[in-house]
């Protein structure tokens, strides 16, 4: 079976979802090939002729293409790093195929001004006319060579991000035209969200032999005509051997669980999608991490769980897998213990991504976050003392927030800025099926019938224009906060942040 990760998605590590699907297929005895189009397609674009030979900057960057696409093993200078990421983006955006179409492209995103991935009509156009897709010359040649191998007579297409939708369905459409005997299954996180949303998704079922949402291991094995024998150990094939990912060091992605064990936060799609929480046993997960680390020698393990379970943390502390690691976590009560945080650091924990959302306790209570600010402050201090970097996420504009609530968030971040290494700031989008939308005037936030978010009239008048003004004039004006924001990494954000934390002083 051929598993395809379409362009365009962040291409600094292998696609973890496909590695887990491949592991289940291998356990069932099915031969597997993984095609990481997010990386291969982007690298192909960077080697295409330039749009304008008179563009001296583009020509200069193209001449040193191989060097630009290879990150140094350590991020020793933030300015040099940002310059290299800019040049990586320029390599693709100044190519003739991209510039002629006016497409906005980065290693993590794809925006075609002529087609809307949230429009079912435009997705059907992309499927019906694959020859018009930006990546068509690449995937036509690449898939033609792969389909010469008779083992690749079944295809699994994983659409995880919206930026993959147009090209992913173009690939599906071309396979239908050129190789009508090949059976196709479409799945992935984006498909799951669409299937569980209110939109009409019946058009998807005419594009493939099977469309599946949710945890896909058993479904993909059955589609391949095999008997499911368990999830198996994730399998990355030859992705590390044949590809040079855009990263300062090899990253091994791994998921010890699917879904969210908390699933109460009112703002989160996990609540309304109600995906079941499935967890690999902590001992089995660490066995996997140790074995995979020995096999692939990563510089960093990325735990891709929505939140790392406390049981898995405890097991990692007891049996460290070897490489340094990072991932998302809740503010856990155990982290109020300094000894626990020191043990966590001793196990290799380099960074934790933590969802704070607000510095106002009443807002946190309304969002059902299940955390208290007095606990958060202790945890941030303990993690810093232990040498674990923090990537903190905050969000403005929830229905419970007002201007004074936002001020309290600003004050909290400023007060604890010396304990926060990276900061992700966002403005709230209302999930399309959120209970909070009831009783509020709302409409679709994005054009297109497949939008997963709603625009709403804030009950306190705290609208997006006011929030943006606040962020620009008030929030960012605080020197300590501005220092953290200036440290944030473009494009690769938290995926590369542990490498920066490893090599550059992050003192405020």
With cut-offs at 50, 70 and 90, classify the pLDDT of residue 152: low
Using one digit for the tens of pLDDT, what is the confidence trace for 100-114? 999 999 999 999 999
With cut-offs at 50, 70 and 90, classify the pLDDT of residue 442: low
| Max avg pLDDT among 269-278, 437-446, 453-462 | 453-462
- What's the pLDDT at 446? 67
With cut-offs at 50, 70 and 90, classify the pLDDT of residue 133: very high
DSSP string over 300-362:
EEEE-SSS--HHHHHHHHHS--SSEEEEEE---GGGGSHHHHHHHHHTTEEEEEEEEE-S-HH
- What's the pLDDT at 334? 97
DSSP-derived letter for residue 185 is E
Residue 472 has pLDDT above 90, yes or no: yes
DSSP-derived letter for residue 275 is P
Mean of pLDDT over the chain:
93
Q: What pTM value is reported for the model?
A: 0.95
Domains of the chain, by residue range, sit at: 2-49+95-223, 248-503
Using one digit for the tens of pLDDT, what is the confidence trace for 24-83? 999 999 999 999 999 999 999 999 999 987 788 999 999 999 999 999 988 888 999 999
3-state secondary structure of 469: helix
- What's the pLDDT at 324? 98
248-503 and 2-49+95-223 share a CATH fold? no
Cα–Cα distance list, 65 to 82, 87, 92, 467 (Å): 16, 9, 10, 40
- What's the pLDDT at 303? 98
Distance CA 370, CA 465 (A): 29
DSSP H or E segment with residue 251: strand 251-254
Mean pLDDT for the stretch of residues 450-478: 93
Give percent of the chain with pLDDT exceeding 90.
82
Using one digit for the tens of pLDDT, what is the confidence trace for 294-343? 999 999 999 999 999 999 999 999 999 999 999 999 999 999 999 999 99
Q: Which CATH number fits domain 248-503: 3.80.30.20, 2.60.120.20, 3.30.910.20, 3.40.30.10?
A: 3.80.30.20
Distance CA 357, CA 425 (A): 9
Topology of the domain comprising 2-49+95-223? Rossmann fold (3.40.50)
Contact 226, 28 (CB under 8 A): yes
With cut-offs at 50, 70 and 90, classify the pLDDT of residue 239: very high
Tokens 């510089």 correspond to 299
């Amino acid at each position: 079976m051929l598993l395809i990760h379409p362009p365009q998605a962040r291409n600094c590590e292998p696609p973890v979802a496909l590695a887990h699907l491949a592991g289940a297929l291998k356990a069932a005895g099915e031969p597997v090939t993984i095609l990481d189009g997010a990386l291969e397609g982007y690298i192909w674009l960077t080697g295409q002729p330039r749009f304008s030979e008179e563009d001296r900057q583009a020509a200069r960057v193209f001449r040193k293409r191989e060097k630009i696409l290879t990150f140094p093993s350590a991020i020793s200078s933030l300015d040099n790093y940002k310059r290299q990421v800019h040049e990586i983006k320029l390599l693709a955006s100044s190519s003739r195929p991209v510039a002629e179409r006016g497409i906005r492209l980065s290693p993590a995103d794809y925006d075609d001004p002529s087609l809307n991935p949230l429009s079912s009509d435009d997705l059907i156009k992309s499927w019906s006319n694959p020859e018009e897709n930006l990546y068509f010359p690449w995937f036509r040649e690449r898939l033609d060579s792969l389909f010469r191998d008779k083992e690749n007579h079944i295809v699994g297409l994983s659409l995880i991000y919206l930026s993959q939708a147009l090209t992913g369905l173009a690939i599906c459409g071309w396979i239908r035209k050129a190789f009508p005997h090949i059976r196709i299954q479409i799945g992935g996180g984006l498909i799951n969200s669409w299937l569980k949303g209110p939109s009409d998704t019946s058009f998807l079922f005419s594009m493939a032999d099977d469309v599946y949402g949710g945890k896909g291991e058993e479904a993909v094995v059955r589609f391949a005509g095999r008997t499911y024998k368990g999830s198996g150990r994730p399998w990355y094939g030859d992705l590390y051997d044949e590809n040079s990912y855009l990263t300062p060091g090899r990253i091994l992605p791994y998921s010890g669980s699917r879904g969210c064990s908390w699933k109460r936060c009112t703002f989160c799609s996990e609540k309304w999608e109600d995906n079941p929480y499935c967890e690999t046993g902590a001992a089995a997960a660490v066995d996997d991490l140790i074995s995979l680390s020995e096999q692939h020698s990563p510089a960093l393990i990325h735990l891709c769980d929505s939140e790392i379970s406390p049981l898995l943390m405890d097991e990692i502390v007891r049996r460290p897998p070897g490489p340094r690691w990072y991932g998302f976590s809740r503010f856990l009560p155990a982290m109020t213990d300094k000894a626990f945080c020191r043990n966590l650091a001793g196990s290799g924990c380099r960074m934790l991504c933590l969802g704070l959302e607000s510095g106002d306790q009443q807002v946190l209570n309304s969002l059902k976050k299940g955390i208290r600010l007095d606990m958060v402050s202790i945890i941030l201090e303990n993690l810093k003392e232990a040498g674990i970097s923090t990537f903190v996420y905050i969000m403005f504009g929830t229905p419970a927030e007002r201007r004074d609530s936002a001020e309290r968030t600003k004050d909290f971040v400023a007060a604890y800025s010396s304990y926060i290494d990276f900061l992700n700031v966002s403005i709230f989008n209302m999930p399309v099926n959120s209970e909070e939308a009831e009783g509020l005037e709302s409409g679709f936030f994005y054009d297109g019938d497949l939008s997963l978010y709603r625009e709403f009239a804030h009950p306190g008048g705290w609208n997006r224009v006011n929030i943006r003004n606040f962020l620009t004039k008030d929030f960012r004006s605080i020197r300590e906060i501005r220092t953290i924001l200036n440290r944030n990494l473009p494009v690769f954000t938290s995926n590369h942040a542990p490498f920066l934390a490893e090599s550059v002083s992050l003192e405020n």
